Amino acid sequence: MAVDPSLLRLVQPGDGAWRLDSEVKAASCTLTRGAAGIEGPGYKMIGVRIIDCASGRPAPGVLVRLDSRDDRGWAPLMSGFTANDGRLLALEELQVRRGAHQLTFDPSSYFAGLGTVAEYREFTVSIQVREIELDLRMAVYLNAAGFTVYGERG
């Protein structure tokens, strides 16, 4: 099934930063203060947009968790649910340091709301932040049978 390209339109407002053209309707998020990557210089923005390939529409209510690895192992940075536009705005506002990070996506509550059971419970994408001046934008396309992740630096 094709995804409606208008759902993925990027805009470049006056500040020169590219953003997905959509409106955040509702989202919940928990930030873990003091964890590795929250404070200090050396930041990078990570943006995520989740699209349900079966409907071609954004996927609200997908749980996303961001963890960062430090000397003691993995530490949680934040977790939250995607809004009606399929984005987690708090993730875009959270800036992370150079190093190893992982995003874990748990769409089970989203699919349960559709009366569907996915063939997977969650999936994790590991990333290495190397260049602090670049942002990372990820498009996640999912359905009950599988998922695809596309990343773009810029």
- Mean pLDDT per block of 10 residues along the chain (154 residues) reads 35 41 37 38 74 94 92 90 91 81 93 92 88 79 92 75
Please tell me the distance from the alpha carbon of residue 39 to that of residue 107, in angstroms, as a whole number: 29
Q: What is the 3-state secondary structure (H, E, C) of 7-27?
A: HHCEECCCCCCCEECCCCCCC
**Any idea what the CATH number is for the domain that residue 29 is in?**
2.60.40.180
Spatial separation of the C-alpha atoms in residues 84 and 103, rounded to whole Å:
20
User: What domain range is 53 assigned to?
Assistant: 5-153
Question: pLDDT at position 48, please?
Answer: 92
pLDDT for res 89: 84
Number of domains the chain contains: 1
Intra-chain end-to-end CA distance of the chain, in Å:
28
Q: Return the SS3 of 5.
A: helix
pLDDT for 39 equals 38
DSSP state for residue 145 in the 8-state scheme: T
Q: What six digits make up the tokens of 49? A: 């947009």
